[in-house]
Amino acid sequence: MAKFGSSMRVIAGSLLLALAVVSFGVTPAGANEAADQPVKQVYMVLWRGVTEAERGFMDSMMNQPKPVEFIIRNAGKSRQQVAVIREDILKRNPDLVYSFGTTVTSTLVGTEADSKAGEHIRSIPLVFNIVADPKGAGIVSDYQVPGRNVTGTSHLVPIATQVAAMQELEGIKRVAVIFNPKEKNSTLQVEALQKACEEAGLDLVRFPLPDADDGKVGEHFAAFARFVADKKADITYLPSDSFLISNAKALVSASHGAGVPVFSATEGPIRKAGAYMGLVSRYYNVGQFAAYKAQQILFEGKTVAQVPVETLKRFSFIVNMNSAKALDRYPPVTIMQTAEVVKD
């Protein structure tokens, strides 16, 4: 968790399913300078609790001499709760809003084509984080010059680059993907994956989830294991999808149990759920990048239009060696020369 500076206070949240933490502080070296400056209030809206992305964001925001106050709300994976939080933001009118993920962001600000006055946040600067495809989701149409009050960072490594990484493995000819057809974020990734696989000469077989119900994950993933075995898939692609990430351990167990390794688009399933490998942007680093954009708006006088939407330029190849051993499938030297090896 972030190390706070010389002053801090915590206020309990009043919203259902929401944790509100209001904290502010500066390093002792910057205390005198900060005393003469107004405290900037950053309202953070989370989807599934604090992730490494929020830790990176908060650590970076606190590691500068200007005072910042955080309000943290967790929506608990509920769209209805995000709408309730949105009303609170409009009443409070903070200096900046931080949003995690595509669902939270689009619920708070709408899309460029559908943003309603009095309902969506339209004047408060918003910095989003961990949004896979900001253009495809309709959040922004111009990455270099965002056209409204929204900018931020995308964490997703270009899918064509991920597919090229998969092809470093021997015998990859058919890719299986599991996804939620009711989530635009998931369907956008599958469309991009389809195109990348076609260009690379790979087959893609799709398994749409009947529903995103935590109580049915065992049933769904057992069906998926039968699917990958029946389709003779060589590898499973786990997209950046909050429901799948939250249930990654069960999904990985099902796919690996069928002898099919899991290639993850995000780092969490590799580190915490035993996914075989992935080419990823580290959440913590993406959070730091989002903080840099927030600092430009809050402290450097830049408008949102002057702060482009970007991804990191450097990615990390992560390999879970416990899974490689269990699958008896070790990555080639070309991958291991640059990969970070983890053991869950």
Q: What is the pTM of this model?
A: 0.83
- Whether the pLDDT of residue 337 is over 60: the answer is yes
pLDDT score, position 263: 98
When mean pLDDT is compared across 18-22, 48-52, 193-197, the lowest value belongs to 18-22
- Give the confidence band of 35 by pLDDT, cuts at 50, 70, 90: low
More confident residue, 30 or 225: 225
**Tens digits of per-residue pLDDT, 63-84?**
989 999 999 999 999 999 999 9
Longest Cα pair distance anywhere in the chain, in angstroms?
A: 67
Could you give all domains of the chain from N- to C-terminal order, each with its CATH number?
23-154+283-311 (3.40.50.2300), 159-280+315-342 (3.40.50.2300)
- What's the chain's Rg over C-alpha atoms? 21
Residue 29 has pLDDT above 90, yes or no: no
Contact between 15 and 84 (Cβ < 8 Å) = yes
Closest C-alpha among 231, 268, 232 to residue 249: 268
Mean pLDDT of the chain: 89
Q: Give the pLDDT confidence of 284-294 residue by residue, as tens digits.
A: 999 999 999 99
What is the per-residue pLDDT for 43? 98
pLDDT bracket for residue 16 (50, 70, 90): very low
Supply the pLDDT for residue 212.
Answer: 82
Taking each continuous run of H as one helix and of E as one strand, the counts in the chain are 13, 14
Confidence of residue 34 (pLDDT cuts 50, 70, 90): low
**230-248 pLDDT tens trace:** 999 999 999 999 899 999 9
Contacts of 318 (CB under 8 A, 6+ apart): 267, 270, 271, 277, 278, 280, 339, 340, 342
Burial of 101 per CB tally in 10 Å (0-12, 13-18, 19+) = buried
Contact 70, 58 (CB under 8 A): yes
CB-side neighbour CA atoms (13 Å) of 198: 6
Please give the pLDDT value at position 319.
97
The whole-number pLDDT of residue 28 equals: 43
**Model confidence pLDDT, tens digit, residues 82-121:** 999 999 999 999 999 999 999 999 999 999 999 999 999 9
Question: What are the tokens at 268?
Answer: 């969490």
Query: Which pLDDT score is estimated for 211?
Result: 86
